[in-house]
Amino acid sequence: MWESEEMTYINQHVLNNLFYILVSIFFFYFLYDHVRFFQQKKAHQHVLLIACLSVPLILCMKYPIYIAPDCVHDLRQVPFLIGTFYGGWAVSVPLLLILLVARFMMYGYEFITVAVYVMMCLCGSLFSLFFQQLTRKQRLVASAAMTFLLAIAATVLAVAISDFQVTESYVVDFILVPPVAMLFIVFIIETLREALFIRSKAIKLEKMEVVSQLAASISHEIRNPLTVVKGFMQLMKAKDISAETKEQYMNIALEELNRACMIIDDYLTFAKPFPEKIETLHVERELEKVIDMLRPFANMYGVQIVATLMPATMEGNAQYFRQCFLNIIKNGIEATTNGGKVYVDAHADGKTVTIVVRDEGEGMTKEQLARFGEPYFSTKEKGTGLGAMVSIRIIEMMNGTWRIQSEKGRGTTMTVSFSLLEK
């Protein structure tokens, strides 16, 4: 049996069918990752899923594993069920229609096909509600098990409503191969989904990390004014104190409290989740905010930040912009030791605004420089290795350009340019 060409259970066509499905999955994720439109709404994603899955659905039917008198055998149920499990009825119903129309145009009308796939569509859509709640690992098992159960149910249905013959090749190609294929394909889908998810969350993850790293220096910076206030309060408790001195102490205490408030405000505006809107940015003001926020951190390292900022305006998202330069300047501070300086320069000329962050710190070797911006590359004990990557992603998102120069022992210069906003 295994030798004869048309009766081989696992033949070239099985692999072809799998190949159509895999290519379409990669195509889906490629488009999903590169075209913003598909990420905006669930409905857009569903349209893409239907379009991408209907191709292997049709190709599987067009190049089946084998054709028996009462049925055509191929892996079409795999793309159909993938769409059903991941998209629910909104994807399943259109795929069902495409499947039935294609089947009848290619091989003629068959009632069993309608009965089997309507049943799969109904059960699969119901199952989808449950499937969406599962974890990655559970999805692998659940999708394979459900595919198997549906194949059994389909067989029972076919035998009940017609004189359908259950052959050996039918058992292999319709009941046994699809759950295995499903396991394999759901694994690939879940891996791709996770990779995209992590990438899309990198900016936010890194922000959380920076926020927690800055917390120590911020609380230190707030303790100072509070200690001053406490001291003056104690002084004021003394009885023999003139109204004039009291007034003076009060003013100093208030000033210190204001400073503490300002530090907390800066910190909180950064820590909050931010709206994703494009606005007019005043480069010098945004950089000033970033530098203010980093001052406590720089003090902790004994580093001075020297800023020379020319006014300039550009378009972009303020929070992203701040995070971008926060990471870059923070790296500069971390590379510099006591008494060193980090220079931040912004100047506009012609059509571009150029921001230069220069430090006289430890610098990078050629190898380190080559890996700059690579995710998880860090030479620091508590580093995330995400800061540089996030900064670069943000610069590219805002259509900017960047260049880094570094010499071991000499320091590092990061140069970033953006288009100026035309007035």
Residues that bind ligand ADP (CB under 6 A): 327, 331-332, 335, 359, 361-364, 368, 372, 377-380, 383-389, 412
CA dist., res. 268 & res. 218, Å (int)? 11
Among residues 38 and 372, whose Cβ is nearest to Mg ion?
372
As beta bridge partners, residue 406 has 412
Q: Give the number of other Cβ atoms within 10 Å of residue 66's Cβ.
A: 19
Residue 327 CB, shortest distance to Mg ion, in Å, is 5
Among the listed residues 316, 383, 385, the one whose alpha carbon sits nearest the alpha carbon of residue 355:
316
Among the listed residues 269, 265, 235, 263, the one whose alpha carbon sits nearest the alpha carbon of residue 249:
235
336 binds Mg ion (CB under 5 A): no
Among residues 351 and 380, whose Cβ is nearest to ligand ADP?
380
Q: Where are the strands (E) in 156-300, listed by range? A: 279-282
Among the listed residues 376, 400, 379, the one whose alpha carbon sits nearest the alpha carbon of residue 389:
376
Q: Pick what 379 binds: Mg ion, ligand ADP, none; C-beta below 5 to 8 Å, kind-dependent.
A: ligand ADP
Residue 400 CB, shortest distance to Mg ion, in Å, is 19
Q: Give the number of other Cβ atoms within 10 Å of residue 254's Cβ.
A: 12
Residue 220 CB, shortest distance to Mg ion, in Å, is 20
Q: Pick what 386 binds: ligand ADP, Mg ion, none; C-beta below 5 to 8 Å, kind-dependent.
A: ligand ADP
β-pair type (341-349, 401-407): unpaired
HSE of 147, CA atoms in CB hemisphere, 13 A: 31
Q: What is the DSSP string of 380-396?
A: STT--S-HHHHHHHHHH
Q: Pick what 332 binds: Mg ion, ligand ADP, none; C-beta below 5 to 8 Å, kind-dependent.
A: ligand ADP
Q: Which of residues 372-411 bind Mg ion (CB under 5 A)?
A: 387
Here the tokens at position 138 are 């559970």
Q: Give the number of other Cβ atoms within 10 Å of residue 115's Cβ.
A: 16
Residue 335 CB, shortest distance to ligand ADP, in Å, is 3
Number of residues that bind Mg ion (CB under 5 A): 2
Among residues 17 and 336, whose Cβ is nearest to ligand ADP?
336
Residue 310 CB, shortest distance to ligand ADP, in Å, is 23
Q: Pick what 359 binds: Mg ion, ligand ADP, none; C-beta below 5 to 8 Å, kind-dependent.
A: ligand ADP
Q: Pick what 79 binds: ligand ADP, Mg ion, none; C-beta below 5 to 8 Å, kind-dependent.
A: none
The helix/strand count (H/E) of the chain reads as: 14, 9
Q: Pick what 94 binds: Mg ion, ligand ADP, none; C-beta below 5 to 8 Å, kind-dependent.
A: none
Which of 92, 113, 217, 331 contacts Mg ion by CB under 5 A?
331
Among residues 30 and 376, whose Cβ is nearest to ligand ADP?
376
Interface positions with Mg ion (CB under 5 A) = 331, 387
